[in-house]
Amino acid sequence: MPRTLIIAALAGIISGAVFIAPMYQSVLGMLFINFTHLPLFLAGLGLGTAAIGVAALTGTLIVGAAQGVGPLLSFLAAIALPAALAVRQALLSRNASDGSVAWYPTGRLLVLMVCYGAGAFILLYMFMGSDDHGMIETMQVMLDDMFTIMIPAMGEDERLMASGLWAPYIPAALIVSWLITLTVNGALAQGLLTRAGKNVRPSLEFIKTELPLGFAFALVASGALWYFASGVSAFFGQTLTIVIALAYLFVGLAVLHQLSRGWPMRPLTLTLFYLMLLFLLGWPGLALVAAVGLADQLFRLRPRFAGSAPDKENE
């Protein structure tokens, strides 16, 4: 046990150090900031729930000791708590009726993290308020300053128009970016541990990711709020719709991976698809894939591809 806790504490120290490194203008810190969750996931998914607790607490204390209360709260909310919560749920299991071990479903893990991000957004909005120093107004000022530095030739009216147009989308973009980073780090940690034979639970089966049906109602409700409401209500609907749609994007990609099983040159085909999705199709392509994920939930698309040739899937 002491050895396990020492390793977990070291993982927390590494995570905290990576988090605060950019604050010291470290180039390596800027390069590795997106992997802040990784040491915590390695400790938790490889050593268990006690280890993730020790790692998360150690990382939080390191950040607080080095940078104070503000960064401590940021690390706790964005890094330590979600990683600990995800690991705790991921390691839940029960004995199925056929005698096998049933682990916590991947889709429910995804829903949990989406709800965490959405809840954090709501709490932060309430904390910041809706006056001249509220969330949207703060984002407008940040964008205006960014445009001033990056595009000095842009006129003041153009800057104000651009910052006003894009500011309401910044919270959703930040949450989506955070969710993707969290998911990638968790999947990377599980993959590394599986290859080393140190994983506690079996590999997550990405192609079997399914969301609860109630999540579709949440998507429709937030979309209706975005479309029919105005002001703050529309802003809430817009942000929540984009965040919830991310979960369906993952399901849509799972459908693609299921469909492509048995295809010749499958890794190359999937790589080209992802490159085209990110750099050519953009937001319309992402929305289309999310729509495929929603259609799969409603019309059960993947069982129709169940007869495809098997292919090893370790995602």
Tell me: the pLDDT tens digits for 272-288?
A: 989 998 888 888 899 99
| Residue 102, helix vs strand vs coil | strand
Q: Is the Cβ–Cβ distance between 188 and 239 less than 8 Å? A: no
Instruction: Please report the pLDDT score of residue 308 as a whole number.
Output: 47
Residue 122 has pLDDT above 70, yes or no: yes
| Most confident by average pLDDT, 76-90, 94-108, 262-276 | 76-90
Residue 105 has pLDDT above 50, yes or no: yes
Beta bridge partners of 101: 95
Q: Residue 261 — very low, low, confident or very high, per pLDDT cuts 50/70/90? A: confident
Residue 306 has pLDDT above 80, yes or no: no
Residue 148 has pLDDT above 90, yes or no: no
Q: Work out the percent of the chain whose per-residue pLDDT is above 90.
A: 62
Distance from C-alpha of 165 to C-alpha of 172, rounded to nearest angstrom? 14
Q: Residue 313 — very low, low, confident or very high, per pLDDT cuts 50/70/90? A: very low
Q: Residue 311 — very low, low, confident or very high, per pLDDT cuts 50/70/90? A: very low
Across residues 85-112, what is the average pLDDT?
A: 91
Residue 307 has pLDDT above 60, yes or no: no
Instruction: Please report the pLDDT score of residue 17 as a whole number.
Output: 95
- Tell me the C-alpha to C-alpha distance, in Å, between residue 24 and each of 66, 70, 123, 146, 297: 11, 16, 29, 21, 46
Among 45-49, 261-265, 295-299, name the one with the lowest average pLDDT.
261-265
The model's pLDDT over 43-92, given as tens digits with 9 standing for 90+, comes to: 999 999 999 999 999 999 999 999 999 999 999 999 999 999 999 999 99
Distance from C-alpha of 242 to C-alpha of 76, rounded to nearest angstrom? 24
Instruction: Please report the pLDDT score of residue 159 as a whole number.
Output: 85
Distance from C-alpha of 186 to C-alpha of 39, rounded to nearest angstrom? 10
Q: Which region, left, alpha or beta, applies to residue 68 given φ > 0 means left and ψ of -120 to 50 means alpha?
A: left
State pTM to two decimals. Answer: 0.89
Helix-strand-coil percent breakdown of the chain, rounded to 5? 80, 0, 20
DSSP classification of residue 130 = S
The model's pLDDT over 7-38, given as tens digits with 9 standing for 90+, comes to: 999 999 999 999 999 988 877 778 889 999 99
Among 146-150, 187-191, 233-237, 252-256, name the one with the lowest average pLDDT.
146-150
* Distance of alpha carbon 296 from the chain centroid: 21
* Distance of alpha carbon 125 from the chain centroid: 19
Which among 282, 286, 293 is positioned nearest to 258, based on CA atoms?
293
User: Amino acid identity, residue 93?
Assistant: S
**Residue 144 or 73, more confident:** 73
